[in-house]
Amino acid sequence: MDDENRLWRWRQRTEVPLFAASVLFLGCYAVQVLAEGIGPGWEALLRAVTYGTWALFVVDYLVRWRLTGRHAHFVRRHPLDALVVVLPLLRPLRIVQLYETAQHRHVRPRLTLYARVIAYAGLSAVLLGFAGALAVYSAERGAPGTTVRTFGDAVWWACSTLTTVGYGDVTPVTGLGRTVAVGMMAGGLALLGAVTGSFSSWLIQTFTLDEDRGGPPGNPPGARPR
Amino acid sequence: MDDENRLWRWRQRTEVPLFAASVLFLGCYAVQVLAEGIGPGWEALLRAVTYGTWALFVVDYLVRWRLTGRHAHFVRRHPLDALVVVLPLLRPLRIVQLYETAQHRHVRPRLTLYARVIAYAGLSAVLLGFAGALAVYSAERGAPGTTVRTFGDAVWWACSTLTTVGYGDVTPVTGLGRTVAVGMMAGGLALLGAVTGSFSSWLIQTFTLDEDRGGPPGNPPGARPR
Amino acid sequence: MDDENRLWRWRQRTEVPLFAASVLFLGCYAVQVLAEGIGPGWEALLRAVTYGTWALFVVDYLVRWRLTGRHAHFVRRHPLDALVVVLPLLRPLRIVQLYETAQHRHVRPRLTLYARVIAYAGLSAVLLGFAGALAVYSAERGAPGTTVRTFGDAVWWACSTLTTVGYGDVTPVTGLGRTVAVGMMAGGLALLGAVTGSFSSWLIQTFTLDEDRGGPPGNPPGARPR
Amino acid sequence: MDDENRLWRWRQRTEVPLFAASVLFLGCYAVQVLAEGIGPGWEALLRAVTYGTWALFVVDYLVRWRLTGRHAHFVRRHPLDALVVVLPLLRPLRIVQLYETAQHRHVRPRLTLYARVIAYAGLSAVLLGFAGALAVYSAERGAPGTTVRTFGDAVWWACSTLTTVGYGDVTPVTGLGRTVAVGMMAGGLALLGAVTGSFSSWLIQTFTLDEDRGGPPGNPPGARPR
């Protein structure tokens, strides 16, 4: 209907600037966490930019909620959107929609189905891991008995958590750090599902097609609904 | 047949009170474990409520077994029911049936298939993790050389176990604690299967549909048997 | 063909005694590992029974290889059989065939497809874990700096390994123990695949069917090829 | 088209020598890492062979890129090829294509679909684990506070990482070692997906077919697109 069209147009117009804003948000947060001893002026500027971009996300959410006719099920049907408004650090996860917007400019997608799912899951893992490492590092820094001494430790911990390997040589000890960690474990589970599911489906599909016609293997076949 | 109808009516009538009883059971157990130094009167009351609710579960099980004509295969076809009678701490896992009962009041389910599976698996994980953390905490508390010092440690351990991350910074050392842990590992495996399977199916389905018709992505499509 | 029939008859006749022999083999090995200070006479008897049952497995393998017309692809098509001849500790994994033999006596299987896969994977996990814990315990016992002090520790380690949780509080340090552990990790991966794949398929199927007809949920639906 | 044919011919002709070169590369690297105190002459020779084989991979990549008409999408459609040119240690992962080339000489593949996927994932895991253990061992050797003391430790660490068990008793501490480890975690995830997906599909298929016709179970059925 008309609302759908206006919503669609709004999203197409706001997708790129909003993604830029989310990257800016993540960047400012990273500088606030990692850069120590920058003047109070810079601190204030960074904080202002952070809250400003956050406000942008809230405005965008409200506009889209309004464009859908203020239906309550909008909140239910877009849980990820509601989540990134509350936790803007997760905002870059919406990169998939930027990717989709770029996709729809072409007649046929450039990547196959499974390759796109894996690319999305991989990008989400990188962004989620980076944001989580920042949050855990800022929460654990200076805590007594913590093993997260440098930001490198935090990144190392994030990788071993998202892949559910969980060495345990670096683990958060503060309540906040552990809360972030639990969220990242859930994220790791979801990414694990997307990556493993897509990869095995792609591999089985490749071997199957390759069996039907003895062609050169290894090229991902065209996307087909599974 | 008629038995089926009577069983169905019985369950619809008892679903809500039984779920309240199971929440009451979990709550009383939690207070018994966490609250220290409440008077012996309260202790007795809590214990009485705990065993009373447990008795309710047994009665419900027997009634339903009778309504199915005392068929032996009732026990085999409802392993979860038999399990929650033996281990009432797992009783809240039957929340899915309360959810289903609520669902059937509407013409069409509100959530899509995969969203419902994920919601069920998530709820089960939260309840299983909470019950397991309580049991492990009460088993490990005061054990020599244990790393489960506070209930927060037990919750942290439960999360890292259910997601199969397994840091190992907090692990049970007593036989009872480890027995509970093994049960939670199996539960983690099952939840892992439900969450990852549903999430990847949902993601692949989303990307697929989005490919067929260049519509706005991200909204979970209608449930369809896979 | 006729060979197929004779092979089938041979297997039906030998399935039960061979499974008893494999349980006997596992039992004797367990007693040899766990029971300390039983007289040398008992030691010799146990060792004799162990090697005797092992010989039975080899004979059975050769007979079946012969009944298939000595085709080389018999070895390739039954990797599990070849494996249990080399590593008789894994022999109980063939419990699935005993189960199948029992199944085929009925017109229709009692359990649904996914329930049977989960039951098989669960049984395999229990037997594989028990055998692996025995082997690791006998390899690590008395090794300097080992964390596997009691058989309970070995069982605890086996559970956390098969579920890929991997706490790391108990880990083998000897070369033999670690070799066994690597084999169990691979087994854990395979079991993880069977359990999670079947459970999520079963859950999705349950929710799907339950959606089509608003019947009482929770009963596993009839097996259908997926 | 013609290019496709020439590319196909080129690959069939170069597959075997290139795989030999990749094995040679891995072997030389292994000797350089593990053998200590071999004369400088040998060192120089090994280094020469290493770089020479690397050059071969680059030439092969360029030739194939040229045979595809210098299309840019060749780089995109063969990410694995581009990766093994940058990281030749991963070159043996292309063993699947050697395997496929051998397959196509027969009318019908010898192994079933899932068995081939599992065989490929298993071979990849072994080669990836060996290369990763070598890289981590050479990076960690002599680092202060490292737990990777012997090459056996590195192999043990590689196994527990690829299976996402992650004991944490042996973990890299240097930046380079951890970078390699992160790559292996991602590889472990992908292999986990391939192995678990294929194994559970195969198991479900076996139980399903076995249900339709009460034949002897356990033999993997013929490959069929899933």
Least confident of A75-89, B27-41, B209-223: B209-223
Contacts of D167 in chain B (CB under 8 A): 168
Task: Report the CATH number at residue B170.
Answer: 1.10.287.70
pLDDT beyond 90 at B178: yes
Share of chain D above pLDDT 70, in %: 78
D99 is a domain residue: no
Predicted confidence band at D215 (pLDDT cuts at 50, 70, 90)?
very low
For C24-49, what is the mean pLDDT? 88
| pLDDT given at position B69 | 73
Summarize pLDDT for C191-217 with one digit per residue, the tens: 778 888 888 777 777 777 655 544 444
Residues D63 and D148 in one domain: no
**Residue C189 contacts A, CB cutoff 8 Å:** no
| pLDDT given at position C154 | 95
- Tell whether the torsion through CA atoms of C90, C93, C95 and C96 is positive or negative: negative
Q: What value does the mean pLDDT of chain B take?
A: 79
HEC profile for chain C? Answer: CHHHHHHHHHHHHHHHHHHHHHHHHHHHHHHHHHCCCCCHHHHHHHHHHHHHHHHHHHHHHHHHHHHCCCCCHHHHHCHHHHHHHHCHHHHHHHHHHHHHHHHCCCCCCCCCHHHHHHHHHHHHHHHHHHHHHHHHHHHHCCCCCCCCCCHHHHHHHHHHHHCCCCCCCCCCCCHHHHHHHHHHHHHHHHHHHHHHHHHHHHHHHHHHHHHHCCCCCCCCCCCCCC
Comparing C-alpha atoms, which of D221, D119, C186, D126 is closest to residue A203?
A: D119
Least confident of A89-103, B173-187, D14-28: A89-103
The answer to whether A3 touches A63, Cβ cutoff 8 Å, is no
Indicate yes or no: CB of B165 within 8 angstroms of CB of A164. Answer: yes
Residues C131 and C202 in one domain: yes
Residues B115 and B224 in one domain: yes
| pLDDT given at position C1 | 52
| pLDDT given at position B221 | 36
Helix, strand or coil, per DSSP, at residue B214? coil
| pLDDT given at position B158 | 94
**Residue A204 contacts C, CB cutoff 8 Å:** no
The answer to whether A10 touches A63, Cβ cutoff 8 Å, is yes
Q: Which of B56, B90, B124 is the last residue of a domain?
A: B90
- Tell whether the torsion through CA atoms of B72, B76, B77 and B78 is positive or negative: positive
**Residue A116 contacts B, CB cutoff 8 Å:** yes
B15-B197-A182-C170 Cα dihedral, nearest 10 degrees? 110
The residue among D129 and C65 whose pLDDT is bigger is: D129
C115 is a domain residue: yes
Residues D121 and D212 in one domain: yes
Model pTM score: 0.84
Residues D135 and D216 in one domain: yes
The answer to whether A143 touches A137, Cβ cutoff 8 Å, is no
Dist CA B102 CA B161 (whole Å): 31
For D31-44, what is the mean pLDDT? 85
Taking the CA of residue B163 and the nearest CA in chain A, the distance in Å comes to 6
Summarize pLDDT for B113-142 with one digit per residue, the tens: 777 778 778 888 888 899 999 999 999 988
Summarize pLDDT for D145-204 with one digit per residue, the tens: 888 999 999 999 999 999 989 999 999 999 999 999 998 998 888 877 888 888 877 777
Report the 10 Å Cβ neighbour count for B106. Answer: 9
Instruction: Say which of A8, A80, A189 has its CB closest to residue B192.
Output: A189
A96 is a domain residue: no
Q: Give chains near B: 3+ CB pairs under 8 A.
A: A, C, D
Residues D115 and D161 in one domain: yes
For D111-118, what is the mean pLDDT? 75
The answer to whether D127 touches D98, Cβ cutoff 8 Å, is no
| pLDDT given at position C38 | 81
Dist CA B129 CA B159 (whole Å): 7
Q: What value does the mean pLDDT of chain C take?
A: 79
Alpha carbon of C113 to those of C117, C119, C122, D200, D212: distances in Å? Answer: 6, 10, 14, 12, 11
A95 is a domain residue: no
A106 is a domain residue: no
Summarize pLDDT for A90-138 with one digit per residue, the tens: 776 666 666 666 655 554 555 677 777 887 788 888 888 999 999 999 9
Residues B119 and B84 in one domain: no
Residues C86 and C157 in one domain: no
| pLDDT given at position B132 | 92
Instruction: Say which of B4, B97, B117 has its CB closest to residue C203.
Output: B117
Domains of chain B: total = 2
Indicate yes or no: CB of C167 within 8 angstroms of CB of A168. Answer: yes
Tokens 């594989």, residue located: C128
Comparing C-alpha atoms, which of C120, C110, C121 is closest to residue C220?
A: C110
| pLDDT given at position C82 | 77
For A168-175, what is the mean pLDDT? 92
Q: Helices (DSSP H) in A68-174: which residue ranges?
A: 73-77, 79-86, 95-103, 113-140, 151-162
Residues C33 and C81 in one domain: yes
Dist CA C33 CA C45 (whole Å): 14
| pLDDT given at position C18 | 84
B226 is a domain residue: yes
pLDDT beyond 70 at A161: yes
pLDDT beyond 50 at C222: no
pLDDT beyond 70 at A153: yes
Predicted confidence band at A207 (pLDDT cuts at 50, 70, 90)?
confident
Summarize pLDDT for A4-63 with one digit per residue, the tens: 778 778 877 887 888 888 888 889 989 988 987 788 888 899 999 999 998 998 898 888
**Residue C167 contacts A, CB cutoff 8 Å:** yes
| pLDDT given at position B214 | 45
Predicted confidence band at B198 (pLDDT cuts at 50, 70, 90)?
confident
| pLDDT given at position A132 | 92
Report the 10 Å Cβ neighbour count for D89. Answer: 20
Tell me which DSSP letter residue B217 carries.
-
pLDDT beyond 80 at C66: yes
For B80-98, what is the mean pLDDT? 72
Tokens 């069209």, residue located: A5
Comparing C-alpha atoms, which of C59, C16, C55, C51 is closest to residue C32?
A: C51
Alpha carbon of D96 to those of C158, D119, D122: distances in Å? Answer: 32, 9, 11
Residues B118 and B185 in one domain: yes
Q: Which of C90, C124, C153 is the last residue of a domain?
A: C90
Dist CA C187 CA D195 (whole Å): 11
Predicted confidence band at C221 (pLDDT cuts at 50, 70, 90)?
very low
Contacts of C192 in chain A (CB under 8 A): none
pLDDT beyond 60 at B161: yes
**Residue B216 contacts A, CB cutoff 8 Å:** yes
Residues D226 and D122 in one domain: yes
Q: Which of A31, A56, A90 is the last residue of a domain?
A: A90
* Residue B168 structural domain: 111-226
| pLDDT given at position C104 | 58
For B190-203, what is the mean pLDDT? 80
A209 is a domain residue: yes
| pLDDT given at position B219 | 39
The answer to whether C216 touches B104, Cβ cutoff 8 Å, is no
Interface pTM, i.e. ipTM:
0.79
Dist CA A131 CA B25 (whole Å): 39
Indicate yes or no: CB of A159 within 8 angstroms of CB of D182. Answer: yes
Residues A176 and A76 in one domain: no
D96 is a domain residue: no
| pLDDT given at position B209 | 63
The residue among B95 and C161 whose pLDDT is bigger is: C161
Indicate yes or no: CB of A169 within 8 angstroms of CB of D167. Answer: no
